[in-house]
Every structure is written in C-alpha cells, then in structure tokens.
Structure 1
Amino acid sequence: MAKGKNTADVVKGLERAVANAYALTIKTHAYHWNVQGPNFYGLHKMLQEQYEELFPAIDEIAERMRALGSYAPGGLDSFKKLTDLSEPKPGGTDWKEMVADLIASRKAIIEQERSVMDAADEVDDQTTADLMAERIGKHQEAIWMMESLLK
C-alpha cells in the first residue's frame, strides 16, 4: 500500500463520485427538458438515454461504498457539498452551450473517477478500480457523441 493511501481515500472518492453522478443526472435531465432548436428531437432523445444510463450507475457506486463498509451520502445538501459540477445553466440556454457544459462536466468527472481508480489500485481494490474504469468508458462514449454534434 502506498504511503498516505488507504481504503478511506477510496471511500472519500466514491462519495464524490456518487455526488457527481447525481449532479450530472440532474443536469442532463434539466437539459433534456429545456433543449430547443433544430436538433431538438435527436438531442432530447440522446439526453434521455444519457440520464437513464446514469441513474443505475449511482446505485452501483453507492453499493460499492456499502460493500466497503461505509455509508453512501444522501440528500441534496450532501451532494452539493461533495460535487465538482456546477448547476445546469438556466432554461433558454443555446443547445450548443448545453452540450458543451455536459462535455465539460463529464471531463471533470473522468478526472475525479480516475483518481478513485488510482487510489483503488494502490490498495489492491480491483472491484472499485474496474467500476471506475467502466464509468470512465461510459463518459468517454458520451463525450464522443456530444462532440460529434458540435462539429
């Protein structure tokens, strides 16, 4: 085990991962409701697919925390304190700004989840490392799709 790293570091990272996943779900859902423009239908459907994929991921991360003997955070105040993400931009925001905000949010989450994966690797917690690797892959796929829209 590397100096300064232990399972508590993994759990703290998972707390932030749960909060970030919730915040991204809320942001994606808000943009799904409020998107408008020439690509409305496609974006509306894509964002629905994204938030529907995110919600079960929250459960997986929280259940991993429980398997490690910790409790998952709950409540909007807890999530707000733990998340790295900003609130969704207000309704009426240009669809390109919405997509760019979601891309930036997912990139921030990738960095945070990568740090959890690294902490898990350092304490030989392959299950958590694999979970974070899977989540990172899902974010990368969503980013690719959204970046393709902006070209």
Structure 2
Amino acid sequence: MSETLSIIPEAAEINSGVRSPASIAEGLRDVLADTYRLTFKTHAYHWNVEGPLFFSLHNITEAQYEDMFAAADELAERMRALGQLAPMTMAEIMDNSIIEDLAETPSAGEMCIDLSRDHERVAHRLHALIKLAGDKNDPVTEDLATARSAFHEKASWMLKALSAK
C-alpha cells in the first residue's frame, strides 16, 4: 500500500476560539447517531407503508429521510471542523443513539406516531447541544443545531397532523 493511503485519521487541535471542542463533538456525535438511525427507520417506513395514508406518508417520509441523510454529512463535517473524528462504525451509531425500534410491525398511524416521537427526542437533544455550544463559544454549531431542531420539530408536527383523529 502506498504511503499516502496509509494515513490514519486522528483528532487535531483547532484554535478557532471554541472552548471544549471535544465535548461539543460528543453532542454532535449523539445527534449524528440519532439522525442516522432515524433516517433508516424513516426510509423503512417509507418502503412499507400501506393503506389510505400511503401517498401522503410515502411522500413525507421521502422528503424527511433525504433531508436527514444530507444533515448527517453536515453534522459529521462539523465534528471534523472541530478537530474531532466522526463515528466510523455502526456500533458507534447504535451505542450513541436514543432512537429505538418498535417490537412489532406498525400500522401507518403507528408509524406516524413513532416517527413523531423520535423527532421530538432528537429535538430535545439538539436543544441541549444549542445550550452547550452557546456556553462554549461555538456559534457555528449553535446555528447548525438550531436549524436541525427546527427541522425535527416541524417533522414531528407534520407527522402528528397526519395521524390526528
């Protein structure tokens, strides 16, 4: 193997004025893990939804998983900009995510409720990251987390509206 292909990624010190970049990167890692798991769950529901809500739920989940897939890249790149490594294994994603799978195959309405609840959970984690980033002089992460929280809050609302009685 050539020497240039033997380089192993590692954390680096970045002096941008952000205090405790490793702690901020941990918060980003957790949100990234949630984003990846929720992207997959949303995509799986997209593939398997049936019933009168098919068209609506199929389309809304497609828009949501596409947004979250792009967001995962932004979150990982922010970790790297802070001098930290992004997760490199599925085990890291699973270990750091609060997103859980349902025990049984859900109905279309249960899919909406489950995804809505997950979006709320991610929004809560993002709120904590917003506070941490503000306290540690990291307006870039604060802005990113604010935008991501807005997405998850809106996604939760839309899914709740679909499943309302």
TM-score, structure 1 as length reference: 0.92
Aligned residues: 146
Distance (whole Å) between structure 1 residues aligned to residue 28 and residue 81 of structure 2: 12
Conservation of the 8 A alpha-carbon contact between 1:14 and 1:61: yes
The 5 A counterparts of 1:33-48 are 33-48=47-62
Moved more, 72-81 or 60-69: 72-81
1:130 is aligned to 2:143: yes
Is 1:96 aligned to 2:106, yes or no?
no
- Structure 1: unaligned runs, 5 residues or longer: none
Mapped contact 2:42–2:61 kept (Cα < 8 A): yes
The question of whether the paired residues in 2 share the 8 Å contact of 1:6 and 1:119 is answered with no
Counterpart check, 1:118 vs 2:131: yes
Q: Map of 1:54-93 to 2, 5 A cutoff?
A: 54-87=68-101, 90-91=104-105, 93=106
CA, structure 1 residues 137+89, in 2 after alignment: closer, same or farther (shift >3 Å)? farther
Decide which structure has greater helix share.
1
The answer to whether the 8 Å contact 1:27/1:88 transfers is no
Segments of 5+ residues of structure 2 without an aligned counterpart are 1-18
Aligned partner of 1:109 among 122, 129, 145:
122
Structure 1 SS opposite 2:50:
coil
Which deviates the most, 80-89 or 28-37? Answer: 80-89
CA distance in 1, matches of 2:84, 2:134: 19
* 1:15 and 2:15 aligned: no
Question: Please, what TM-score do these two structures have when normalized by structure 2?
Answer: 0.84
Q: Which structure has the larger Rg?
A: 2
